[in-house]
Structure 1
Amino acid sequence: MRLVIARMNHETNTFSPVPTPLEAFAPRWGKDALDAASGSTTAMGAFLAFAQRVDAKVITPVFATANPSGLVEDMAWQAMSDAIVEAVSEGCDAVLLDLHGAMVTRSHTDGEGELLSRVRAAAPTTPIGVALDLHTNLTRKMVENSDVLVGFKTYPHVDMVETGEHVARLIERMLEDNLRPARAWVHPPLLAHTLMMNTNTPGAMRSAIEAARQAEGQDGVLAATVFGGFPLADIPDAGMSVVVVAEDHAQAQAVATRLSAQLWAEREHFVYQETDLKGSIAHARNVGEASGSGPVLLLDHGDNCMSGGTCDTMDVLAEALAQGLDDIIAGPFCDPGAVNALIEAGVGTRVSLEVGNRLPPLAAIGAQKKPLHMSGIVRAISDGEYVVSGPTYTGMRCTMGKSAVLDTGTAKLLISERPHEPWDLGVYQSVGLQPASCRFLILKSRMYYRPVFAPLSKVIIDCASQGVTSSDYRLFNFERLPRPIYPIDPTTPWTPESEPS
């Protein structure tokens, strides 16, 4: 048996100015891709374990992942896609792809759909199985050019391997039992907020996922996935969707219709009600004066690294300082120029410089932000490398790029060369900061901070900055998104029966 197995993964925020060249993916090719993916906690790692179990010959054209950011450069998409299509063109018994489902390039609003259409053209009758992220913006092109589609059922994502195993089981049935799965999908006009997709807490998203799991327990239903979608993408297919893979098309359609009807009935509960920033900081000040251990955690969800944020928006820190908060640890803030200036000054030196607000903000709102002028002492300089202590990505070596700490007296700012998700204590401890010991901790995160920093905190307060990952859809100039769509258009009419499969 000959299997083509690959990973090409990116969540594209079309409003983000953060560039996404090929280097952002740190692609591994051929044998290097095999070595990198083997044993990894990814769907591709599960695909390779399946291949080993069935003693298949494996071709691994690419293993590539980039952090969420702006539009993928065409050359990057082309290089990775060409490698996959070329491998498939040489002949194989099945194709197993680990994709995100929300990739947008400068030329293609549907990066995965375009890839899959080319794979299908190269192998018209070959089984194609695809593992997808919960935040997939599912398209007709993706569904029609694959045989099996299964998405994550957790956010934060802890079932990547399980999803890959699910895809592999169905592809194995296609190869050995002549299974010919039917697919049905439904795409309600619903642009859910990412902050309402946490599957660890009670709510509409967890209920929808549980309904999908129950559907998978029915005879004949092979896979049922509810996608939250990635809303910060100005494309025709952004938003929530359902895809069902079953032995019979009528059953697939019935289940997809039922699950989508549940999403629509619960649509109000997929909308995040934002508090204004001044009010959030005032609340934080009051809570900070109350008794209790641990810092008050201020989440700058409008500039979230893992949704394509620039990581240089200074709104939350500026408001915190304006309202008199002190004993603050904040960051990482991405500002290569400031890092270089601090490194040149050296540890122990008092400096004055401008920090943050470097990349163009939302063109849709015409915001003109200026860097914050900060004065303080350089407390630490680092290469920004650390090893994750867990529980997410335990043992993985990460880097923020060159990093430094500026101590202003009221706040200690971690400034890094690269955008970086604050998902581990090592982010701070690598530069000598102890985040559990401050009064206020400002993080640019939505979800991945939770396993480590939520247990340390006295209280968690969401803070709405005007960044490219804001939950305020009014800030964004959607031009390709079909209208009406809920909640931008509150009276949007829709019934699941009106949606084509």
Structure 2
Amino acid sequence: MKIAVGGLIQESNTFSEAISTLDDFKRYFYRIGDQMEETLQAENELAGFYRAAREQEVTLIPTIFAHAVSSGKIGRRMLDELKAVLFEQLDRYSSYDGVLFALHGAWVAEDCDDADGEILSAIREKVGRSVPVVITLDSHANVTQSMVDQVDGLIGYRTFPHTDYAETGYRAAKLLFSIVRGEIQPSVRLKKVPMIVPAENHQTYRGPMAELWAEARQGEECGVSLATSLFAVQPWLDIAEMGCSAVVVGTDPNLAEEEADRLAAMMWSKRRQFEVALYTVPAIVELLADPQAKGPLVASDSADSPGAGSPGDSNFVLRELLALGAERRYDCLLSMVDGPAARKAVSAGAGRAVKLRVGHTISTSVGSAIDVEGVVAHVGNGAFRFGGGTVAGLVANMGQCAVVQIGRLSLLLMENPTFTGDPAMYRSVGLEPAEANFVLVKSANQFRAEYERLTDRIYILDTPGASTANLTRLPFRNIPRPMYPFDDSAFGKPAASWESTS
């Protein structure tokens, strides 16, 4: 059995001013052909693919596996370059028994709302309809009918914070091998739900998603579904085929359809349970004054999360903390993407006083730079290895970076955006989050995997940015209507769809 294997993984944010390039992939994870098997130390989908193949003595034919930090839309030229590499690798062999491919599922090009669907359509055209194709998706995928139409199986992550990358790849591989051997002939059924809800309450170990997953597992255990996936879509996509979804892979298409309908209706019924409490920076500073509190206070500026496609260059929290004099009273850790400021601080060198203009080098429509003065406490090359909070084993690349000390406030400046939800980022530059009073992360939920081990004092900030939890702030124009939460009252009308499950 010969299986073509690969992946192209990036999440887009259509509200972000960041521009995605090929360098984003090459800085993070970019492997072609035999390089893929040589670099399996990361616990990603690729590791799961190979683990299953070794167990079942299946031959995998590597193509390309590329992963980038989330960003704005990808350019047409860059997407075409990635596709060209994929097909160059596929052309090395005349035939395949199957295709196993990892995607994110919320990838948008400048001229295509469904870049993942485009990739799958091109793969399908290349290999033909008789070759089974199974894919993996992030649980924040915006699953489209085009994606479902091109595949024989679909497996999404089951955890958020995401920790089951390799397990998802392993499950997808076993499903594909069974299809190729003729042991099963599955059908894939998709049910979209007209709702968009904050990612800050998507965690799968408690709350509405935990309850939904308990129901999904019951369907699998009783044989209605071979594999169920629930997609609480990432909410920063202003595109036509937008919404949460339930996807069921089953051997009986009618039962699979019924199960997808059941879970979608249940997801809809829990829509208000996803609401999240948001805090202002002054309110957070008041909480810092509590003498009985233990452990660091972790505040998420999720509106500027690079993991959600925002540039990571906002200075909003820094500006507010300085205005409140927090740098004189509390040990604070903050991070910011600002290439010019980072390079200037690195050039000055450790121990030198600097005057810098920092912030909003990319997101100029959201805010403007501010002037700060401090002392360079650390300079570095920006490399660090993620722990369990993101993809264990992957190496981040912040580029040139520096820590500037402003009173008791430590500001980490970096050239390149990276996932900021792992304490390893701060530790790589000599800062220990467990010893700080205030720690800023720019992450909606992924940071909880590691930071909840340090503290239970975790708050989400109400700040401006492309990935804000306050969804009504964003200028949605292209999504289907009605859509929750924007048109909630419309669903109460007798003629409205979904009114029977309200």
SS at match of 1:118: helix
Check conservation: 2:44, 2:391, Cα contact below 8 A: no
| CA distances 1:282-339 after superposition (whole Å, capped 9, x unpaired) | 2432443322332222221111121112111111121122223232433321111111
489-498 or 217-226, which deviates more = 489-498
What is the one-letter code of the residue matched to 2:63? P
**1:312 partner SS:** coil
What do residues 38-68 of structure 1 show as CA deviations (whole Å, max 9, x unaligned)? 4542222222223333433322110100011
Aligned counterpart in structure 1 of residue 116 of structure 2, from 85, 98, 112: 112
Aligned partner letter, 1:154:
T
Amino acid at match of 2:250: A
Matches within 5 A, 1:396-415: 396-415=394-413
Code of the aligned partner of 1:217? E
1:43 to 45, 64, 76: 45
1:219 to 1:426, Cα distance in 2 relative to 1, 3 A: closer
The one of 204, 207, 217 equivalent to 1:213 is: 217
Q: Distance in 1 between matches of 2:372 and 2:168?
A: 47
Supply the distance in 2 between the matched residues of 1:378 and 1:85 (Cα, whole angstroms): 47
CA contact (8 A) 1:404 1:415 kept: yes
With over 3 angstroms needed to count, the CA separation of the structure-2 counterparts of 1:289 and 1:40, relative to structure 1, is closer
| 1:29 matched to 2:32 | yes
Find the residue that maps to 1:269 and give its secondary structure: helix
Cα deviation 1:460-487 (Å, max 9, x = unaligned)? 2221210111112233222221111000
| Alpha-carbon distance, 1:405 to partner | 1.3
1:343-422 equivalence runs, <5 A: 343-361=346-364, 367=366, 369-390=367-388, 393-422=391-420
In the TM superposition, 1:175-214 aligns within 5 A as 175-201=180-206, 203-214=207-218
- Please name the residue that 2:67 is paired with: 65
Q: CA distance change for structure 1 residues 498 and 6 in 2, over 3 Å: closer, same or farther?
A: farther
The alignment partner of 1:442 has SS state of strand
Task: Kindly provide the amino acid, as one letter, of the partner of residue 71 in structure 2.
Answer: S
Give the drift of 1:125. Answer: 1.0
Please report how far the alpha carbon of residue 33 of structure 1 lies from its aligned counterpart in structure 2 after TM superposition: 2.5
Question: Residue deviations 1:192-224, cap 9 Å, x none?
Answer: 2111101122x1111111111111112252111
- SS state at 1:143 partner: helix
CA contact (8 A) 2:163 2:389 kept: no
CA contact (8 A) 2:198 2:274 kept: yes
Matches within 5 A, 1:149-188: 149-188=154-193
Per-residue displacement from partner, 1:25-47 (whole Å, max 9, x unpaired)? 122211112323x4542222222
Structure 2 length as normaliser, TM-score?
0.92
Identity of counterpart residues, as a percentage? 29
Taking structure 1 as reference, are residues 226 and 458 closer, same or farther at Cα in structure 2, changes over 3 Å only? closer
What are the residue-to-residue correspondences of 1:234-273 with 2, within 5 Å? 234-273=238-277
Name the CA distance, whole Å, in 2 between partners of 1:457 and 1:170: 39
TM-score, length of structure 1 as denominator length: 0.92
| 1:99–1:468 Cα change, 3 Å | same
Cα distance in 2 for partners of 1:391, 1:336 equals: 25
Residue of structure 1 equivalent to 2:291: 290
State which drifts further: 455-464 or 216-225: 455-464
CA contact (8 A) 1:101 1:112 kept: yes
Are 2:323 and 1:322 equivalent residues in the alignment?
A: yes
Letter in 2 for 1:223: A
Residues in 2 aligned to 1:80 and 1:64: alpha-carbon distance in whole angstroms: 9
**AA aligned opposite 1:271:** E
Looking at structure 2, the residues matched to 377 and 25 of structure 1 have their Cα atoms a distance apart, in angstroms, of: 33
CA shift, 1:386, in A, is 2.7
In structure 1, the partner of 2:14 is: 14
**Amino acid in the other structure paired with 2:144:** T
Equivalent residue, structure 2, for 1:335: 338
In structure 2, stretches of 5+ residues that fail to align are none
Aligned residue pairs total 489
Does the CA contact (< 8 Å) of 2:43 and 2:166 recur in 1? yes
1:82 alignment partner, one of 81, 84, 87: 84
How far, CA to CA, are the matches of 2:354 and 2:86 in structure 1? Answer: 50
Quick one: structure 1 residues 286 and 192, their matched pair in 2 at CA, closer, same or farther if it must change by over 3 Å?
A: closer
1:167–1:496 distance in 2 versus 1, CA, 3 Å: farther
Q: Is the 8 A contact 1:22 1:75 kept in 2?
A: no
Could you tell me which residue of structure 2 aligns to residue 423 of structure 1? 421
The corresponding residue for 1:148 is: 153
> Structure 2: how far apart are the matches of 1:182 and 1:497?
28
Q: 1:80 to 1:414 in 2, by over 3 A?
A: same
Q: CA deviation at 1:392?
A: 5.0
Q: Is 1:91 the counterpart of 2:95 in the alignment?
A: yes
> What SS class does the counterpart of residue 289 from structure 1 fall into?
coil
Q: Deviations over 1:80-134 (max 9, x none)?
A: 2234345556311000011111111112111111111122222211111011110
Contact conserved, 1:136 with 1:227, CA < 8 A, in 2? Answer: yes
1:56 aligns with 2:90: no
> What is the CA deviation profile of residues 120-167 of structure 1, one whole-angstrom value per residue up to 9, with x for unaligned ones?
222211111011110010000000110101111100111222222222
CA RMSD of aligned residues (A): 2.2
Which structure 1 segments of 5+ residues have no match? none
> Once the 2 structures are TM-superposed, how far is the Cα of residue 229 of structure 1 from its aligned partner?
0.8
In 1, Cα distance between equivalents of 2:73 and 2:134: 25
